[in-house]
Amino acid sequence: MSQYKIIFTGPVGAGKTTAIHSISDVPPIKTDASASDMAKMRKASTTVAMDYGIMNLPGGEKLHLYGTPGQERFDFMWDILVTGGIGLVLLLDNTRADPFQDMKFFLDTFDKFISDTTVAIGVTQMDLSAKPTIEDYHAHLNNLGIKPPVFAVDARVKSDVSLLIQALLYALDPGLEG
């Protein structure tokens, strides 16, 4: 049986681990390591390998949910991760200094994978930092020549993560019926 995956990516602290936790049918397997110094105040650990969760589908099939490590130095693993992936969920932290730079970095990194599949973008922490707005993200994406779904997302809220994945699926095939 083929391994089907959805890949969650984005910078450190964008909510990848939490998002996978929100929709996984099994407790996600985390491969976090201790974060240092000030990082401990906010997040006791950070993902250095990958996160993994499962969605059980009808008929015993499984959808694998993989979260990439946030640190760029682990990017050699990303090529391995995306093999068999059906789409990319990019989570961006709106409180970071330049989320557009983050967005461009991840879109460039996964460029080939996105052109073969598609991407849906979730912007997290908008209750802490309302700007840039979702419209600002669309304006930047328009300049890049793509029109993916971009939603405000609270990674802890299952329905937010679910809607983002639904949009990813419909972007792949608008004719889908649930």
Contacting residues toward other proteins, per CB under 8 A: 4, 13, 23, 37-42, 55-59, 61, 63, 86, 95-98, 122, 126-130, 133-135, 138, 141-142, 147-154, 157-160, 162-167, 169-178
Cβ of residue 109: shortest distance to other proteins, in angstroms? 21
What single-letter DSSP state applies at residue 72?
A: G
The residue (of 51 and 93) whose beta carbon lies closer to other proteins is: 93
Q: Minimum distance between the CB of residue 168 and other proteins, rounded to whole angstroms?
A: 9
Q: Rounded to whole angstroms, how far apart are CA atoms 163 and 116?
A: 22
Q: Name the residue nearer to other proteins (CB basis): 49 or 86.
A: 86
Return d(Cα 149, Cα 122) in angstroms, integer: 8
Q: In angstroms, what is the minimal distance from the CB of 144 to other proteins?
A: 13
Tokens 């990674």 belong to which residue? 155
CB of 66 to other proteins, least distance (A): 15
39-46's contacts with Cβ under 8 Å and 24+ in sequence apart are: 42/13, 43/13, 46/12, 46/13, 46/70, 46/71
Residue nearer to other proteins on the CB measure, 30 or 138: 138
Q: Which is nearer to other proteins, 74 or 151 (CB)?
A: 151
* Distance of closest approach, residue 27 Cβ to other proteins, in angstroms: 16
SS3 for 32? strand
**Contact (CB, 8 A) for 108 and 78:** no
